[in-house]
């Protein structure tokens, strides 16, 4: 049985899910012993611990020029002391070029089987990846397991499925038969999906696998070779994934340099040198808008970006304002707001929020919101695990500085106790009331747990401001609460024009931060928050070019 045959049923289920947009998950998100084995968690933790202080030798990349690594645990505030092989850009490019010309000739079915098999290897290391993610990003354990493990694997599978479908959209060859009266004109025509070349995937520090695997697998399935350039502060989670890809490549007589890891350090980064190299044709990037826009401006590249945005919540009316406040408080607390989908700007009409029980004033909602934030933070069984730790010290400084914004401070940031990690870098959300005229304050992304309560004249102004922010500064998500059908439609229509998806009336266990593979498009590519979307057809079809050849059909032998 070939690898393609082994995974064919899952592939077809994934393709069906792409079209149906209903719930589908190939990799269970519950890290229970019943699912992954009694010792899976302990084994993963032990494997992670064994990596700390040592060289990462799982890669199949030989001839390194040195070893380097600067990762620090936000929970321990100590260096992990893991070192990775480093290579010059010229060596990475030369090897990627050679690998490209062998990988592009591998059949679509064989490529698909190899890549899907690598996800099985990744699955076997989900717990190891979870602890690696915790101690590089600061994510809580459950988020680290789900986002960097099963959810990332599902996103990778989604890219494989989308690529497979696009590569098979047209026949490889046909006999073209045109009636000409007394005779027919016949041509043999063939079409080849030709990959563009070397792909560079630039990772981020907060979601090192979830945000990178779509680009990695999207390029690999379409026949391109890949160089993965992780953030220097979060290497290990994606290094494990690359190691599993290389392992399957070698086992199937393919060049391991088809997917390489390119590690650098904060004081000697190679990102620009890689991106600007003429041999690099594809770039995937997650990060700040300034660098993303620079990458988009490099001539001769096909670039896929997810940049910063200003995410809004429009509060008009609600059935149960207490459940709304609880839901939004969880969204702000989740991973201490270090998510590209986290809410920042909360637009509240000066007349208050309408409910069946009466009007909830601006101040009353602010009090409920703050109370729910504090309730979760002070819950020892939930708070430390939901908030996690702060990945970058600059984020903590930004949160503290937000208390000096002009406006009433409803909640000051504070530290809290994490019983498992006494040295963790922690901070809690800050909530500030901002006048609707102060666009200079709320028109920028304030990354981290910062919530701005903006008092507007009415819901119409709230919608207009949310739309303006998305159009001019980008938005990846938007929340809205209304029980009026006409208002709901206006919000949906206006935010659609700003290419921003809206989550309406969420309460309970689903939050505007979350996106589901095979159903939710992550980023639309239609506003300044990014030019690409996980995973629409364009996300994979732009990684190759259709080229057609034709020739006359030889006359039949008599």
CATH of the domain at 184: 3.40.605.10
Contact, 95 vs 260, CB < 8 A? yes
Specify the pLDDT at position 558: 56
What does 460-487 look like in DSSP terms, one character per residue? Answer: HHHHHHHHHHHHHH--S-EEEE-S-HHH
Q: Are residues 417 and 334 in the same domain?
A: yes
Q: Are residues 338 and 394 in the same domain?
A: yes
The β-bridge partners of 68 are: 84
Q: Are residues 492 and 410 in the same domain?
A: yes
Specify the pLDDT at position 555: 74
Specify the pLDDT at position 556: 66
Q: How do 478-481 and 502-504 pair as beta strands? A: parallel
**What is each CA distance from 390 to 160, 193, 342, in whole angstroms?**
33, 44, 15
d(CA 159, CA 226): 14
* Residue 526 belongs to some domain of the structure: no
List b or e across 449-488, with b for residues whose CB sees 16 or more CB atoms inside 10 angstroms. bbbbbbbbeebebbbebbbebbbebbbbbbbbbbeeeebb
Q: Are residues 236 and 161 in the same domain?
A: yes
Q: Are residues 318 and 290 in the same domain?
A: no
Specify the pLDDT at position 354: 97
* Residue 253 belongs to some domain of the structure: yes
List of residues 6+ apart from 529 with CB closer than 8 A: 306, 307, 308, 309, 340, 470, 473, 474, 475, 476, 523
* Residue 462 belongs to some domain of the structure: yes
DSSP E strands: which ranges in 230-379? 259-261, 280-286, 302-306, 312-315, 345-349, 353-355, 358-360
Q: Are residues 472 and 327 in the same domain?
A: yes
* Residue 512 belongs to some domain of the structure: no
Contact, 109 vs 163, CB < 8 A? no
* Residue 363 belongs to some domain of the structure: yes
* Residue 520 belongs to some domain of the structure: no
Specify the pLDDT at position 34: 86
Burial class (CB in 10 A: 0-12, 13-18, 19+), 189: middle
Burial class (CB in 10 A: 0-12, 13-18, 19+), 381: exposed
Cβ atoms within 10 A of the Cβ of 72, count? Answer: 17
Q: Are residues 540 and 476 in the same domain?
A: no
Low-confidence ranges of the chain (pLDDT < 50): none
- Displacement of CA 271 from its chain's centroid (Å): 19
Specify the pLDDT at position 541: 98
Query: Which structural domain range is residue 339 located in?
Result: 312-504
* Residue 516 belongs to some domain of the structure: no
**HSE (side-chain half, CA atoms, 13 Å) at 506:** 22
Cβ atoms within 10 A of the Cβ of 371, count? Answer: 15
Q: Are residues 537 and 430 in the same domain?
A: no
Predicted confidence (pLDDT) per residue in 43-57, tens digit = 999 999 999 999 999
Q: Are residues 331 and 479 in the same domain?
A: yes
Q: Are residues 374 and 276 in the same domain?
A: no
d(CA 336, CA 381): 16
Specify the pLDDT at position 339: 95
Number of compact structural domains in the chain: 2
Nearest to 496 by CA among 517, 471, 465, 472: 471
Predicted confidence (pLDDT) per residue in 404-463, tens digit = 999 999 999 998 889 999 999 999 999 999 999 999 999 999 999 999 999 999 999 999
Kindly report the CATH number assigned to the domain that includes residue 476: 3.40.309.10
* Residue 524 belongs to some domain of the structure: no
Q: Are residues 128 and 221 in the same domain?
A: yes
Give me 318's structure tokens: 């609600």
The single residue listed with the structure tokens 């630039």 is: 202
Cβ atoms within 10 A of the Cβ of 293, count? Answer: 14
Q: Are residues 348 and 381 in the same domain?
A: yes
């Amino acid at each position: 049985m070939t690898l393609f045959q082994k995974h064919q049923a899952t592939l077809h289920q994934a393709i069906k899910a792409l079209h149906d947009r209903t719930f589908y998950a190939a990799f269970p998100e519950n890290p229970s012993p019943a699912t992954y084995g009694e010792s899976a968690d302990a084994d993963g933790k032990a494997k992670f611990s064994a990596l700390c202080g040592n060289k990462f030798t799982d890669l199949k990349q030989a001839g390194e020029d040195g070893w380097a690594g600067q990762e620090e645990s936000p929970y321990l505030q100590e260096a992990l002391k893991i070192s990775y092989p480093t290579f010059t850009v010229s060596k990475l490019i030369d090897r990627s070029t050679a690998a490209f010309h062998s990988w592009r000739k591998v059949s679509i079915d064989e490529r698909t089987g190899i890549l899907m098999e690598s996800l099985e290897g990744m699955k076997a290391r989900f717990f190891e990846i979870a602890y690696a993610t915790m101690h590089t990003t600061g994510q809580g354990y459950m988020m680290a397991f789900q986002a960097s493990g099963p959810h990332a694997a599902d996103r990778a599978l989604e890219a494989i499925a989308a690529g497979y479908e696009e590569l098979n959209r047209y026949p490889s060859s046909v006999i073209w038969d045109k009636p000409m009266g007394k005779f027919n004109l016949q041509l043999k025509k063939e079409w080849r999906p030709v990959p563009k070349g070397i792909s560079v995937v630039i990772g981020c520090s907060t979601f090192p696998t979830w945000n990178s695997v779509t680009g990695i697998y999207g390029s690999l399935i379409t026949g391109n070779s890949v160089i993965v350039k992780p953030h220097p502060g979060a290497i290990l989670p994606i290094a494990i994934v690359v190691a599993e890809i290389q392992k399957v490549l070698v086992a199937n007589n393919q060049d391991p340099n088809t997917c390489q890891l390119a590690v650098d350090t904060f004081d000697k980064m190679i990102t620009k040198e890689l991106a600007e190299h003429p041999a690099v044709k594809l770039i995937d990037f997650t990060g700040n808008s300034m660098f993303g826009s620079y990458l988009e401006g490099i001539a001769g590249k096909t670039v896929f970006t997810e940049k910063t945005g200003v995410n809004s919540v429009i509060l008009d009316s609600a059935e149960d304002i207490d459940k709304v406040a609880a839901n939004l408080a969880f969204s702000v607390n989740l991973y201490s707001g270090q998510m590209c989908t986290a809410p920042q700007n909360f637009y509240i009409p000066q007349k208050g929020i309408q409910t069946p029980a009466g009007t909830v004033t601006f101040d009353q909602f602010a009090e409920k919101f703050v109370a729910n934030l504090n309730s979760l933070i002070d819950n020892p069984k939930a708070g430390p695990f939901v908030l996690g730790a702060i990945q970058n010290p600059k984020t903590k400084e930004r949160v503290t500085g937000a208390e000096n914004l002009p406006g009433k401070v409803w909640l000051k940031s504070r530290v809290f106790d994490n019983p498992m990690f006494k040295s963790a870098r922690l901070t809690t959300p800050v909530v500030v009331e901002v006048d609707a005229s102060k666009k200079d304050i709320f028109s920028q992304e304030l990354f981290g747990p910062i919530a701005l309560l903006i008092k507007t004249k009415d819901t119409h102004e709230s919608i207009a401001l949310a739309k303006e922010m998305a159009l001019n500064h980008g938005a990846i998500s938007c929340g809205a609460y209304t029980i009026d059908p006409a208002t709901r439609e206006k919000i949906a229509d206006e935010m659609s024009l700003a290419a921003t998806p809206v989550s309406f009336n969420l309460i309970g266990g689903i939050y505007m931060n979350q996106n589901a593979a095979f159903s939710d498009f992550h980023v639309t590519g239609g506003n300044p928050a990014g030019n690409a979307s996980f995973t629409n057809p364009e996300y994979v079809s732009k990684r190759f070019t259709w080229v057609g050849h034709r020739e006359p059909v030889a006359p039949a032998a008599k």
